[in-house]
Amino acid sequence: MKGLVKRERTEGLWMEKVPMPEVGDHEVLIKTRKTSICGTDLHIYKWDAWAQKTIPVPMVIGHEFMGEIAALGKNVKGLKEGDRVCGEGHIVCGQCPNCRMGRKHVCMHTKGLGVNRSGCFAEYFVLPAENVFPLPASVSDDLGAIFDPYGNAVHTALSFNLVGEDVLITGAGPIGIMAAAVARQAGARHVVVTDLNDYRLDLAKKMGATHAVNIKNTSLDEAMRSLGIDYGFTVGLEMSGHPNGLATLTEK
């Protein structure tokens, strides 16, 4: 089969023939139908300092996907061949103190799909069955492929009770825009998104942002006045990854 491989310790990726993965007793073989590109994949492509100390070479990359089950390990229950699925790309040990306390999201031995083990940018890949989730027919392939970043937006936004709150989101990337939609659906009064990219800000408005502010042209104070926010925002979500974004949150 073909896969997109980080073959060498330098910038770039290579489309190559790779072996069909073997399916363990508790694993599922997934035929990839759709994938999406994460910023992590760009770090790996560029071979920056983080990638150099993290990524084993050679390895198939990619962790955002939807697909269909092609085969099941002998101990897998509750799934069947042909199921449309997406999945959680963080593979936990289940044995460390955090896992045993129900805090698997901070497993001490987490392995990332497409980061520490072969990923989904291939025709087929394997994932533990407990990480695989069937998709209802109402969810399209395109939407199923972005459930990973959408989950980031959901869990971040819903860390707060947002009913009636005024929310500032710095950064109109995919996760920031999805967080704006979640915040509005969760009952936020105003959702203000900042960025430097007008195209992304337009998307944020389409997804429910009350106000989208290009901070090159408009001050955040001006936007706050137009919405009647004179006491500051009550919830802030930093989604840009830029130090200035965090500074803006603490100021407003």
Active site (annotated) includes residue 40? yes
DSSP 8-state class, residue 24:
P
Q: What is the pLDDT of residue 45?
A: 98
pLDDT in tens, 142-192: 999 999 999 999 999 999 999 999 999 999 999 999 999 999 999 999 999
- Catalytic residue, chosen from 26, 43, 218, 234, is 43
Percent of the chain, pLDDT > 90? 87
Residue 30: count of CB within 10 angstroms of its CB: 27
Spatial CA neighbour of 149 closest among 173, 168, 113: 173
Which H or E element spans position 250? helix 243-251
229 compared with 247, residue with greater pLDDT = 229
SS3 label, residue 201:
helix
Give the Cα separation of 122 and 37 in Å (integer).
13
Per-domain boundaries in the chain:
2-145, 151-251
Give the Cα separation of 91 and 107 in Å (integer).
9
Contact at 8 Å (CB) between 11 and 47? yes
Q: Which CATH superfamily hosts domain 151-251?
A: NAD(P)-binding Rossmann-like Domain (3.40.50.720)
Q: What is the pLDDT of residue 49?
A: 97
What is the fold, at CATH topology level, of the domain defined by 2-145?
Quinone Oxidoreductase; Chain A, domain 1 (3.90.180)
| Residue 248 pLDDT grade (very low, low, confident, very high; cuts 50, 70, 90) | confident
Contact at 8 Å (CB) between 210 and 192? yes
Q: What is the pLDDT of residue 111?
A: 97
pLDDT in tens, 157-171: 999 999 999 999 999
Q: What is the pLDDT of residue 252?
A: 66
Tell me, yes or no, if the two domains 2-145 and 151-251 fold the same way.
Answer: no
Give the Cα separation of 92 and 131 in Å (integer).
9
Active site (annotated) includes residue 43? yes
CA 42 to chain centre: 13
Angle between helices 174-185 and 198-206 (to 10 degrees): 30
DSSP 8-state class, residue 136:
P
Contact at 8 Å (CB) between 36 and 145? yes
Give the Cα separation of 128 and 198 in Å (integer).
41
- Catalytic residue, chosen from 32, 35, 40, 210, is 40
Q: What is the pLDDT of residue 1?
A: 97
